[in-house]
Structure 1
Amino acid sequence: MSIFHEFDDVDKFTVGTVGRPGDRTFFLQIRAEGSRIALKCEKQQAAAIAQYLDKVLADLPPAEDRPIAGAMELTAPVEPVFVLGPIGLGYDRSNDKVLLQLEEVGEVDENGEPVDDENRGHVRIYITRGQAAAFAKQASNVIESGRAECTWCGNPMDPDGHACPRMN
């Protein structure tokens, strides 16, 4: 049976990580209508959502609402309902909200076509412009808080040390 959640009024939409730099797992977390769900995602997916939101917001008036500082952290426990796959994003002018359609990654056949598309989980949410701006900022902060880059080779440095290929 597939999971389907749809929320018109979201209290919280954020991104965060569990684990130490170099071994982090990324999660999207949504709180609405008395429930909280998490989706496991890739860093690149969080970055892509943030980039899209920034692009949409650039064409709109500044948001008046903003989540409270510190309210963008993940709330424990973080138990994902599924692993994020395809992402759909849009802007609904009629209600002045951003629409996010988040789907579960599904199995594909040898041709790359979805197998059993009907049983994939779906989460559809509408967020305000302020929530979209806060998510984009949070995503940027979370992504940048990863491993530092080596000055010499540009590769990420592990907390336990770095064997730089340029330093023989």
Structure 2
Amino acid sequence: MTDVPAHVHEFDWPDRVVIGTVGLPGSRTFYLQARTGRRIVSITLEKEQSALLAEKIDEILDRLREVEGNRYSVPTSTPVELVDNDPLDTVEEQFRAGTLGIGWDPTTAQIILEAHPLPADLDEAEEFDAAASVNSEMLRVKMPVGTARAFTQRTREVVDAGRPLCTLCGHPIDPDGHTCIIPES
């Protein structure tokens, strides 16, 4: 018997799916947001999760392009009509993402993204148990290949829009300055 989440927020052909932030560089909160009509779901992600998500989706799309004949019409870059630079819609956090999964549905030519929540009390959880988190709720978003390319482009831009890095030590520079600690060699 397979455990099914109590509630699945499912978006089969979303009007919009983006990563965006709230807050200033250095204290931004990252959100994955999906919308169909007036229905919006926002989940919190870490910056690193956002970056890795974009990287892995691009890897899948690039591998699909290599398939002889590319019957999925995977674009090499973001189609201009799919560029989305608008701010996030109203954000009401549904949950904080713990585990993320990425898949491919060849029958609809869509990338499938699944997010499960982080356990409510990490202090009591010695080890994150993905199976336990599956029982509460999850977000499942299916994106056509063009939308997936636009998603990864925007995600990379959002991740890169943070604080600039110091050219000497590589650490982020805060708006109020930076104390550079260069490791001794």
Give the letter aligned to residue 49 of structure 2: Q
| Deviation for aligned residue 1:115 | 8.2
Residue 75 (structure 1) aligned with residue 93 (structure 2): no
Does the alignment pair 1:87 with 2:91? no
- 2:138 aligns with one of 113, 122, 141: 122
The residue type equivalent to 1:162 in the other structure is: H
Write the distance in 2 (CA, Å) between the matches of 1:85 and 1:68.
32
Query: Which residue number corresponds to residue 74 of structure 2?
Result: 62
- Indicate if the aligned counterparts of 1:16 and 1:73 stay in contact, CA closer than 8 A: no
2:47 equivalent to 1:39 = no
The 3-state SS of whatever aligns with 1:56 is helix
Which runs of no fewer than 5 residues in structure 1 stay unpaired? none
Q: Is the Cα contact below 8 Å between 1:15 and 1:72 reproduced in 2?
A: no
Q: Percent identity?
A: 32
The residue that corresponds to 1:158 in the other structure is 174
**Which letter maps to 2:140?**
R
Q: Match of 1:5, SS?
A: strand
Contact 1:27 1:41 in 2 (8 A): yes
* RMSD after superposition: 2.4
Question: TM (normalized to structure 2)?
Answer: 0.79
Q: How many residues align?
A: 166
How far did residue 19 of structure 1 move? Answer: 0.7
Deviates more, 1:141-150 or 1:71-80: 71-80
Shift of 1:120: 2.3
1:67–1:46 Cα change, 3 Å? farther
Cα 1:111–1:128 change in 2 (3 A) is closer
Partner Cα separation in structure 2 for residue 72 and residue 97 of structure 1: 22
Of 140, 149, 155, the residue aligned with 2:165 is 149
In structure 2, stretches of 5+ residues that fail to align are 66-72
2-structure distance, mates of 1:94, 1:10: 17
Greater mean alpha carbon deviation, residues 70-79 or residues 54-63: 70-79
Query: Does the 8 A contact of 1:106 with 1:120 survive in 2?
Result: no
